[in-house]
């Protein structure tokens, strides 16, 4: 409720006092920096302690294989859905814009960044220069690489590492308590970030491109409720119940336009819902780089919008080429700030049919679409964590049922006692 009230208040200030709204940007930036500061150690400690406590090391590779199969399949589905909706709705049709008339200064900056995001460079970038360097840069995939390697090494050494594992578990408990402390500032961060968004770009800035924004939000909602909803039902839970369970985190993502701001809370809640720590530690961080459903929908939808707006007819062969390139480039730009827009730039530089200058059309409204991208990505990773845990047969069914029953039927009456959970 505090975050929701903060979003409303921030929106009002941004609308009626735009200069004040823009000036409040440091509040949102500071909160996101607080959370990003602890993401790397939280991921490292969760994965190391989880893997080190596993007796069957083969299960690590098995879980990773299942997770990547899931990511690849549903990322492709998201791209295809964006392609289909863009062809059916055609949000850019009739605009008849000459790309030569567009100001492309900022777009050129994104295009230059995109040139560095090749798949080879991305794969090489997973290996850090030094162990400490991964934590200093905050590169999640590098931290993940170190954590998995170190966790396996501790498990192979065996009993002698138990004192160290107990220390790491204590450190993890401390960092998760730090997460809880920082989350008290979530309303302030959401207030500042949303006031800036409305103050800087204004609600009126989406009026001319309302068709694209509405189409993107509709497509994302369709994907969450129908595709992810079907996956959830097949895995024994309701997507609406999951959304209710994560509503506080989703409001935080909405307010800050960043799914990273709720990453530590997502990991904690997935564990509380009965998903094993090693699976949570593997699936959630990798999902933040490889399972970007919202970003993938945005890529094909935005690319076809630009083509339609500039009067370019794409054949089915060219659209399939666009789909294939987007599938690769979405991995090459993983973990980069502004990844959605950079990934789109990387895709269009390879597909010559669509003018990259057309990205200037959507630059002004990208901030509004980034909120929907972040929400869809966040829900997609929550679903993926539960599904992979189900595939492994590793969910704590009692914890899972307790969490989801509480959201569906209201809080359960419990007899107070010394072991009662006061959370």
Cβ-based neighbours of 297, under 8 Å, separated by 6 or more: 78, 79, 81, 82, 216, 219, 220, 223, 373, 376
pLDDT at 231: 93
Q: What separation in angstroms does the CA of 353 have from each of 76, 347, 387, 422?
A: 21, 11, 38, 59
pLDDT greater at residue 154 or residue 351: 154
Residue 322 pLDDT exceeds 70: yes
Q: Phi first, then psi: what are they for 54, rounded to 5°?
A: -85, 135
**Tens digits of residue pLDDT in 47-106:** 888 777 666 667 777 888 898 899 989 989 999 999 999 999 888 777 777 766 655 555
Contact 12, 203 (CB under 8 A): no
Q: How does DSSP classify residue 414?
A: -
pLDDT at 224: 94
- How does pLDDT run across 140-159, given as a tens digit for each residue? 778 888 888 888 888 888 78
- At 195, list the tokens: 């006031």
Q: CA 155: distance to chain centroid?
A: 30
To the nearest whole number, what is the mean pLDDT of the chain? 80
Residue 100 is predicted with a pLDDT of 66
H or E, element range at 263: helix 263-272
Is residue 420 scored above 50 in pLDDT?
A: no
With a pLDDT cut of 70, the percent of the chain lying above it is: 82
pLDDT value at residue 220: 93
Say what the pLDDT of residue 151 is.
85
DSSP class of residue 334 equals T
| Domains (range + CATH), the chain | 2-408 (1.10.3860.10)
Cβ neighbors of 400 (< 8 A, separation 6 or more) are 237, 273, 274, 275
SS3 161: helix
Q: How far is the C-alpha of 130 from the C-alpha of 288, rounded, in Å?
A: 23
Per-residue pLDDT reduced to its tens digit, 204-260? 656 657 788 889 999 999 999 999 999 999 988 899 999 999 988 898 888 877 777
232-255 residues labelled b (16+ CB within 10 A) or e (exposed): beeeebebebbbebbebbbbbbbb
Contact 200, 21 (CB under 8 A): yes
Q: Give residue 101's pLDDT.
A: 63
Q: Quote the pLDDT of residue 333.
A: 46
Q: What is the reported pLDDT for 205?
A: 57
With cut-offs at 50, 70 and 90, classify the pLDDT of residue 335.
very low
Q: Cα separation of 279 and 275, whole Å?
A: 7
pLDDT at position 307 over 90: no
Q: What is the mean pLDDT of residues 151-169?
A: 85
Residue 60 sits at the vertex; the CA angle it makes with 55 and 63, to the nearest 5 degrees, is 130
Coil, strand or helix: which one is 126?
coil
């Amino acid at each position: 409720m505090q975050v929701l009230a903060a979003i409303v208040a921030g929106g009002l200030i941004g609308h009626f006092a735009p200069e004040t709204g823009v000036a409040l940007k440091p509040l949102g930036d500071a909160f996101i920096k607080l959370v990003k500061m602890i993401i790397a150690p939280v991921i490292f400690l969760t994965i190391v302690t989880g893997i080190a406590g596993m007796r069957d090391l083969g299960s690590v590779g098995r879980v990773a294989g299942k997770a990547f199969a899931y990511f690849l399949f549903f990322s492709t589905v998201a791209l295809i859905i964006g392609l289909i909706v863009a062809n059916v709705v055609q949000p850019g049709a009739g605009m008849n814009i000459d790309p030569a008339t567009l100001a492309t200064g900022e777009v050129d900056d994104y295009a230059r960044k995109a040139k560095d995001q090749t798949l080879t460079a991305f794969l090489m970038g997973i290996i850090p220069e030094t162990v400490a360097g991964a934590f200093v840069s905050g590169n999640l995939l590098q931290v993940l690489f170190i954590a998995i390697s170190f966790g396996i090494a501790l498990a192979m050494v065996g009993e002698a590492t138990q004192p160290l594992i107990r220390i790491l578990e204590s450190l993890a408990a401390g960092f998760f308590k730090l997460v809880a402390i920082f989350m008290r500032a979530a309303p302030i961060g959401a207030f500042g970030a949303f006031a800036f968004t409305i103050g800087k770009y204004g609600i009126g800035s989406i009026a001319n491109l309302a068709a694209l924004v509405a189409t993107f939000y509709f497509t994302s909602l369709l994907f969450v409720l129908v595709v992810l909803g079907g996956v959830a039902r097949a895995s024994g839970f309701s997507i609406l119940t999951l959304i209710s369970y994560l509503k506080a985190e989703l409001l935080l993502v909405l307010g800050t336009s960043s799914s990273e701001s709720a990453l530590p809370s997502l990991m904690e809640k997935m564990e509380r819902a009965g998903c094993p720590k090693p699976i949570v530690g593997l699936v959630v961080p990798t999902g933040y780089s490889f399972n970007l459903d919202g970003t993938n929908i945005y890529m094909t939808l935005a690319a076809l919008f630009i083509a339609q707006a500039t009067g370019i007819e794409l054949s089915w062969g060219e659209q399939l080429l666009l789909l294939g390139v987007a599938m690769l480039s979405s991995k090459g730009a993983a973990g980069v700030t502004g990844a959605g827009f950079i990934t789109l730039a990387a895709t269009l530089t390879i597909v010559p049919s669509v003018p990259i200058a057309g990205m200037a059309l959507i630059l002004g409204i990208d901030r509004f679409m980034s909120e929907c991208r972040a929400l869809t990505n966040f829900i997609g990773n929550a679903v993926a964590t539960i599904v992979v845990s189900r595939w492994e047969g590793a969910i704590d069914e009692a914890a899972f049922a307790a969490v989801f029953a509480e959201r569906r039927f209201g809080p359960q009456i419990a007899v107070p006692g010394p072991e009662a959970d006061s959370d």
